[in-house]
Each structure stands twice: as structure tokens, then as C-alpha cells.
Amino acid sequence: MKYPAVTLLASILLLACHSSNTAAQTPQLPAYCIAGETQTIVSDSAVSLIADGFVFLEGPVWIESLNSFLFSEMDFSGPQENGPRSVIHQLSLPNKITPFIDNAGSNGLATDGQDLLATTHDDQGITRYSLTTKKRSEVLDTFEGKQFNSPNDLAISNRGDIYFSDPDWQLGSRANQTGMTGVYRLAAKGEVSLVDGTLRKPNGVALSVNQQWLYVGDANGKIGRYAVNSDGSTAERKEFAEVPHPDGMAMDCAGNLYVASHTAGKLYVLSPQGLELAKLDIAPRLTNVAFGGPERKTILITAGGKLFTITSPIAGLPY
């Protein structure tokens, strides 16, 4: 088909404008992401046990300034009125582990590049820890005047928005004031909004590498995703994939989603289209996964009282 010259020129200009706007809205990939890398781990990738003997591990995150991973250990053997006692440990690769913050009350961990952010069940909120002084400060603990349940996992966007899940796993004897188990967004400017209040028990949370999708796993085995608008708000949930008992999640630089299947003890790797690329047997009570190391190609996995690592052919995000 032939087009008049004027129409063709207008189309070219429109396409160029659209491409420019799209590029402006799409965040630049992290420096450790190498263009063209697509090969993920495979189902028979080598899995290394690096530590054992903990009570219950969660929330791994890579901290560049420490050149280390941090992760939470929860102790369910003591009093549970305010959730389990929790300690944050530091892992210096390959296997040196030292205490980092005692009595942290933490579950999921993330970083904004300056400090450590944690979902904390002891005060039912989001907490900030200084990575230098380890001083604790409250970020958020209520929505519309009502206390959260027991925030579980979180992801931080490039613009500074915090998306987090609030099931009731560590609620203890405290009342559910919100009347739901929800997913929320704390905007960089301080406003808090409900992303979804219809889920049974939302758990793992992850943002796509291009910041255009928010992924949330639910206890019913369904992983949904929400389109993220340019202002950080989200569209309606769309079903993405099904994984038995999905827990923590991570994202590699090609946009593949890594999902810890808690009861099954398997790590699933899903393509951006929701197709299964790999499924690895790890260990029962699999809870979470994160990329780290100098090239972001070490995958740290928490499972019950054990820590595992996998060497990945592709880099990924720190939580």
C-alpha cells in the first residue's frame, strides 16, 4: 500500500514522538544489567547449601555499600503476641555470617540505596534502619487511622514509592483493624493508598525491571500483576500465573520472575509472559530469593533454617 508523502511524514513524526515519550517514561536499567543477556538458571542448576541451623529465614536483600546480603531470622518458639522475635544477619560471601541488628521485628527487607527498609511485625508497619548507625525509625504503621496487620514483603520503585503486602501471618493476638489483608502503596511524597483489598493472604511483592508491572503472590496460589502508571498508581489486577503457595519473589534483568513456592520447596522461574522457564527443587519451607554479589549474579535463597546460593548466568535485582 502506498501513502501520500505528507501522511507518511506525519506518521514518522508521530512515531518518533511516541518513541521519545516511551523512552522518557521507561527507567534506565541498572548498570549491572547487561543488554542482551537472557539465559536464566535451568532446572538442574547447581544449588549450594551455605548455612544451616537457623530457626526461620526470610527477606534477603543485597546491600551494595556493605558488599553483603542481609536477611531476617524469625523465632517462633517464644511469645507471639507481637509476632516472633526477629534478628537481621549479614552474609559476606561466600559464607561468613554475623549478627547485624538484634530484636529487629523484621520480615521482608529492601533498600532505597541509602538505608534499609523493613516490613516489621512487632510494630505492624514499615521501618527504616540506618545502615551505619543501625538506628530505627518508623516510616508508616496505619492506613486511614487503622493499624496494619503484619506487613510481610515490600518493593521500592525508582521514584521512591514503596509497595507492600499486609497479610496477617504474624498478627498474633492483635485485632485485624483494617478488616482485610491488603496490598498498599506508600508514595514517595507520603500518601498511602490501597492497591488491592480483595486478596486472601497477599505475600511476595516484586516490581518488574522496567518498573511497569507490580507482581503480588496470594496464598490461593495465584500471582497477579498490576500495570504501574507513570504517577506510581496501579491499574486493576490481572492474573499472571499460578504457583503453589507463592512466597517471596525476585526479578532478573531480562524481566523474568523468580518465585519461591513455600510448601513445595521449589523455585520457579517465569517469563514476562508467565511461562515456566525452570523449576528447581530447593528445600521445604522455601520463603524468599534475591540477587546479589559484585555482578548481581549470586542468587540467595532462604528456606526454613537454611541458606542456599545459585550462580546465575544473568544478573538480577537486589530483592
Distance between CA atoms of residues 300 and 91, nearest Å: 10
- With cell 496487620, the residue in question is 149
Task: Confirm or deny that 256 is annotated as ligand binding.
Answer: no
pLDDT tens for 59-79 read: 999 999 999 999 999 999 888
Active-site residue among 122, 153, 196, 247?
A: 247
pLDDT tens profile 79-132:
888 999 999 999 999 999 999 999 999 999 999 999 999 999 999 999 999 999
The answer on whether 152 is annotated among ligand-binding residues is yes
**What are the strands of the beta sheet with 213-218, ordered from one edge?**
202-207, 213-218, 222-228, 234-242
More confident residue, 82 or 301: 301
Q: What is the pLDDT of residue 229?
A: 97
- What is the model's pLDDT at position 266? 98
Distance between CA atoms of residues 100 and 98, nearest Å: 6
Do the annotations mark residue 229 as ligand-binding? Answer: no
| Residues 39-311, CATH architecture | 6 Propeller (2.120)
**Please, is 54 exposed, middle or buried when counting C-beta atoms within 10 Å of its C-beta (0-12, 13-18, 19+)?**
buried
Residue 101's DSSP bridge partners are 88
At 239-278, the pLDDT tens digits run 999 999 999 999 999 999 999 999 999 999 999 999 999 9
| pLDDT tens by residue, 162-174 | 999 999 999 999 9
Annotated catalytic residue 166: no
Residue ranges per structural domain of the chain: 39-311
Question: Percentage of the chain with pLDDT > 90?
Answer: 88
Pick the more confident residue, 7 or 186. 186
SS (H, E, C) the chain: CCCCHHHHHHHHHHHHHHHHHHHHHCCCCCCCCCCCCCCCCCCCCCCEEEECCCCCEEEEEEEHHHCEEEEEEEECCCCCECECEEEEEEEECCCEEEEEECCCCEEEEEECCCCEEEEECCCCEEEEECCCCCCEEEEECEECCEECCCCCCEEECCCCCEEEEECCCCCCCCCCCCCCCEEEEECCCCCEEEEECCCCCEEEEEECCCCCEEEEEECCCEEEEEEECCCCCEEEEEEEEECCCEEEEEEECCCCEEEEECCCCEEEEECCCCCEEEEEECCCCEEEEEEECCCCCEEEEEECCEEEEEECCCCECCC
The predicted-structure confidence for 8-53, as pLDDT tens digits, reads as follows 333 333 333 343 333 335 567 899 999 899 999 999 999 999 999 9
Residue 292's CB: how many other CB atoms inside 10 A? 27
